[in-house]
Amino acid sequence: MHFKSLASLLAIFACLIFNVPAQAQTNFPEKPVKLIVPFPPGQATDMIARMVAEKLTIAWGQQVIVENKTGVPGMVAGSTAAPDGYTMTMGTSGVLAVNPAVFAKLPYDVTKDFIYVGGLAITPMIIVVSAALPYNTIQELIAAAKKEPGKFNVGYGGVNNTQHLTGELFKFTTGVNMVGVNYKGSAAAVTDLLGGQISILVDSMAVALPHIKAGKLKPLAITTLQRVPQLPDLPTVAESGYPGFEGVGWQGLVVPKGTPTAIVQKISDDVARVLANPEMQKNLIDRGLVPDPRSAGPWSEFVYAEMKKWKTAATQANIKASE
């Protein structure tokens, strides 16, 4: 009887000990949470981060503090933070998939340093031409480009970024010979397209949308797999004869490797609830984005597929970035 009682007490004690971490994880967060944004204030990723931080602050009853730490230092800070859930980082197509594809070496490892928590938004890319050009479909443009190889200049709103690689992937997939022109930013690229210095532009839908609505630019195709709510009548490249084509920017959340599974799951679940809010969805759509509520598992699979895709695209186009 004595041994049975002792065994019972030990069993209860063991349960109490092993339940303490789980209970602690359930109570997450118990203090303010930092959200690192590896981009400057006012940029699209920063705006998304601040919208999400505001909603999570309300849901958690703890302040979610946005910290802008631009570029590689931000990713390094995110990867080396304590793996306890109290430091999250905005992960994007640029820092997680494009950078590893074009840089020979980075001070952070996208496959070893992070856990992928879930998606936030998709940034659709769009292929547009001047309204003065006679082409009304992407098929007409491709046919014209194949008839006169090298005639058309296609501008990219940046270099070694998602716009650049999407444009190069489009050229490779369709088999067209166009001259790529890289700009320091989207504004200069749009100005040259409107002025006739280039024929075509591959950039984010958010950049092109005001000019499309003003009738100055003609959209030929969207680069998402499905049509987007902002331009529901605009076909995708995929449905225009190139099944599976997708070239998009994206944003989501990552945490340091080693963060407890229960905390990752809680963040993922709570973020999904934030994205399900109609107000949040409208805010994203109004900014030229598409909500992406994929949870940790599906979003991780997507991100790893994107890493492979952009690595292949960069190799095919011989795109290499200097240190």
Express each pLDDT in 176-232 by its tens digit. Answer: 999 999 999 999 999 999 999 999 999 999 999 999 999 999 999 999 999 999 999
Clarify whether residues 200 and 172 are in a common domain.
yes
CB 284 within 8 A of CB 121: yes
Q: What pLDDT was estimated at residue 235?
A: 98
**How much is the mean pLDDT over the chain?**
91
Q: What pLDDT was estimated at residue 82?
A: 98
Clarify whether residues 79 and 132 are in a common domain.
no
- For residue 164, give both structure tokens: 């650049």
Q: At what angle do helices 44-60 and 261-276 cross, to 10 degrees?
A: 110
Pairing between β-strand 87-92 and β-strand 64-68 as defined by DSSP bridges: unpaired
Q: Is residue 2 part of a domain?
A: no
Q: What pLDDT was estimated at residue 322?
A: 73
Mean pLDDT of 11-34: 60
Task: Tell me how far apart the terminal alpha carbons of the chain are, to the nearest angstrom.
Answer: 72
Clarify whether residues 194 and 256 are in a common domain.
no
Residues near 237 by beta carbon (within 8 Å), at least 6 away in sequence: 127, 138, 170, 173, 221, 222, 223, 245, 247
Residue 12 reports pLDDT greater than 60: no
Tens of pLDDT, residues 299-312: 999 999 999 999 99
Q: What pLDDT was estimated at residue 26?
A: 60
CB 38 within 8 A of CB 70: yes
Tens of pLDDT, residues 41-54: 999 999 999 999 99
What 8-state DSSP symbol labels residue 286? H
Q: Is residue 147 part of a domain?
A: yes
CATH number, domain at 72?
Answer: 3.40.190.150
Sign of torsion over alpha carbons 173, 205, 115, 95:
positive
Domain stops at, among 240, 268, 290:
240
Clarify whether residues 187 and 95 are in a common domain.
no
Full residue range of the structural domain in which residue 33 is found: 11-17+22-122+249-316
Domain stops at, among 223, 240, 257:
240
Q: What pLDDT was estimated at residue 23?
A: 38
Clarify whether residues 109 and 185 are in a common domain.
no
Backbone angles phi, psi at 179, to 5 degrees: -90, 115
> How many domains is the chain partitioned into structurally?
2
Q: Is residue 222 part of a domain?
A: yes
Q: Is residue 144 part of a domain?
A: yes
Clarify whether residues 157 and 212 are in a common domain.
yes
Domain stops at, among 185, 214, 240:
240
Clarify whether residues 114 and 256 are in a common domain.
yes
Q: What pLDDT was estimated at residue 269?
A: 96
Q: Is residue 262 part of a domain?
A: yes
Residue in 135, 131, 125 with CA at minimum distance from that of residue 155: 125
pTM of the model as a whole? 0.89
Clarify whether residues 133 and 99 are in a common domain.
no
Clarify whether residues 32 and 86 are in a common domain.
yes
